[in-house]
Structure 1
């Protein structure tokens, strides 16, 4: 579900948080902090999916509210609730893993019912909705199309919705692109995610090993980085840049299956996105220099740090 690039971001964020802490951590605490990062991503993903279902299901609430008016109009008594029975909607609602995670994480407590109502009425005012309810039967393409429309046109591009999500999930800015991709993939194949296991065993091992390697080999990586800084004062270099370079050097030395070129490109991109405007070029220069020196000295013999 989650790519190696996303894993690197979570490791980077964990290392940055650890660097900001004053207290001495107990053994195992850094890994717990890393796990929490992935837990927050899961909660955000589940909440976005839950919000989609709440908008679609509001059709029944709207029908009841309008029918229970003191003097309902003829239109109030014939509200179309087709979307509440949407096939894709119910595949999500009946997904055992989704239901279990929704109950355990209790993210439904964040629901803004008034925002759900407003977005539902934006939906019913749209041409897409009119076309959807005019169709007889439940053709798979139209069933998925209207759910996609709710997500892509009424939620993810809606400032009110994104502001609402940001209020409860401080990881939104970092995770929105990843969660967007995960939501789209899930809507294409509902029921295929194990929400209790956001990472495969292999990827979780990579995440833990990368974190622990950087922490345990910090002295060695700094010993290799500092001579390459030339006129730069290590104390004045952006903390994130140092963390990214330490991660890159650790991948050079200890991660046997990752080509050095991939490592360099990944950390250039992360530096550009998460650090300063000059960070991409800076990180590129240092990592490329270290890589060339390792090759020249025949020291690029990757062996896991545990050995």
Structure 2
């Protein structure tokens, strides 16, 4: 699940914090990097559990309606299509998800007010109303309605952002990327797999894990060389006056460009220009792109840059 886009973002965050804290302990910073990546995987599982919790709350609403002093016919014979959603039923018994909930002791039980409001928001949506009014019923429709609900209602949700911020300092920065993993997981679910449906693994393979470790260490251990290149490549600027985040981003970009011959230069440049737009000043993207482009061209002239 953890891809290189997320790894790069995490490395930028951790290395910036490393220098802000005096740059004293490389091993501790590396542990913090992998801990923050594991928290992103926790968020992935936690958001999957949210869909189950919303469905449970919807079911409780139906039970409460039946218990009213004077229930209506609608209360006594409700449309149970939403609470009997087959995709959610499969997700609820998923072995990996239940193992996560048990081992990490993560539930939505303490966020009852938020779950209630989210459920009400879903039930007021056109997506929900069209689904409930449809005369057809299939696993594919059950899965698709949750893909739509997630994309339109959960993906960009300010109230959810507040809940996540209270629980982890890492999660709001991670959520946009993790949301894409949740949507991908919904699409992958197959009823034939039952409770053994595989969720996305924490790391796709050992290569990505090694990419994270190597990029992190090369960035710090070769810092003097990379900063020399940045200083030479931005002669019209006093390096001490360049935004610290810009220097950190360029330092990591150079570590990637020089340490991973299989990654095309333009891929690395584009990734770090996008990160600069997120984490630095409005003009940083153009400045970083121009500076790194000049450094790369100079390294090529000096035969110091080899790419497969």
Structure 2: any 5+ residue segments left out of the alignment?
190-196
How many residue pairs are counted as aligned between the two chains?
301
**Are 2:94 and 1:95 equivalent residues in the alignment?**
yes
Tell me the residue number matched to 1:65: 64
Tell me the residue number matched to 2:293: 288
**Alpha-carbon distance between aligned partners in 2 of 1:207 and 1:59, rounded to the nearest angstrom:** 41
Bigger drift between 91-100 and 117-126 goes to 117-126
Structure 1 residues 68-127: Cα deviation after superposition (integer angstroms, max 9, x where no partner): 334434433223333222111122222222221222233315752122223323333445
Contact kept in structure 2, 1:12 and 1:244, CA below 8 Å: yes
**Alpha-carbon distance between aligned partners in 2 of 1:76 and 1:227, rounded to the nearest angstrom:** 74
Alpha carbons of structure 1 residues 184 and 97: separation in structure 2 relative to 1, 3 Å: same
**Are 2:123 and 1:121 equivalent residues in the alignment?**
no
**Alpha-carbon distance between aligned partners in 1 of 2:131 and 2:75, rounded to the nearest angstrom:** 19
**Alpha-carbon distance between aligned partners in 2 of 1:271 and 1:154, rounded to the nearest angstrom:** 28
Bigger drift between 57-66 and 158-167 goes to 158-167
**Alpha-carbon distance between aligned partners in 1 of 2:15 and 2:113, rounded to the nearest angstrom:** 39
**Are 2:249 and 1:244 equivalent residues in the alignment?**
yes
Alpha carbons of structure 1 residues 271 and 110: separation in structure 2 relative to 1, 3 Å: farther
**Alpha-carbon distance between aligned partners in 2 of 1:126 and 1:179, rounded to the nearest angstrom:** 23
Alpha carbons of structure 1 residues 301 and 133: separation in structure 2 relative to 1, 3 Å: closer
**Alpha-carbon distance between aligned partners in 1 of 2:110 and 2:229, rounded to the nearest angstrom:** 50
Return the match for 2:264 from 256, 259, 268.
259
**Alpha-carbon distance between aligned partners in 2 of 1:17 and 1:237, rounded to the nearest angstrom:** 17
**Are 2:239 and 1:229 equivalent residues in the alignment?**
no
Taking structure 1 as the reference length, the TM-score comes to 0.88
Contact kept in structure 1, 2:3 and 2:203, CA below 8 Å: no
Alpha carbons of structure 1 residues 126 and 265: separation in structure 2 relative to 1, 3 Å: closer
Tell me the residue number matched to 1:14: 14
Tell me the residue number matched to 1:214: 219
Contact kept in structure 2, 1:226 and 1:234, CA below 8 Å: yes
Alpha carbons of structure 1 residues 263 and 156: separation in structure 2 relative to 1, 3 Å: closer
Describe how 1:161-176 pairs up with structure 2 within 5 A.
161-176=160-175
Alpha carbons of structure 1 residues 269 and 110: separation in structure 2 relative to 1, 3 Å: farther
What do you get for the CA RMSD once the two structures are aligned? Answer: 2.4
Tell me the residue number matched to 2:24: 24
Alpha carbons of structure 1 residues 199 and 36: separation in structure 2 relative to 1, 3 Å: farther
**Are 2:48 and 1:49 equivalent residues in the alignment?**
yes
Bigger drift between 216-225 and 78-87 goes to 78-87
Contact kept in structure 2, 1:52 and 1:150, CA below 8 Å: no
SS in 2 for 1:256: coil
Taking structure 2 as the reference length, the TM-score comes to 0.87
SS in 2 for 1:19: helix
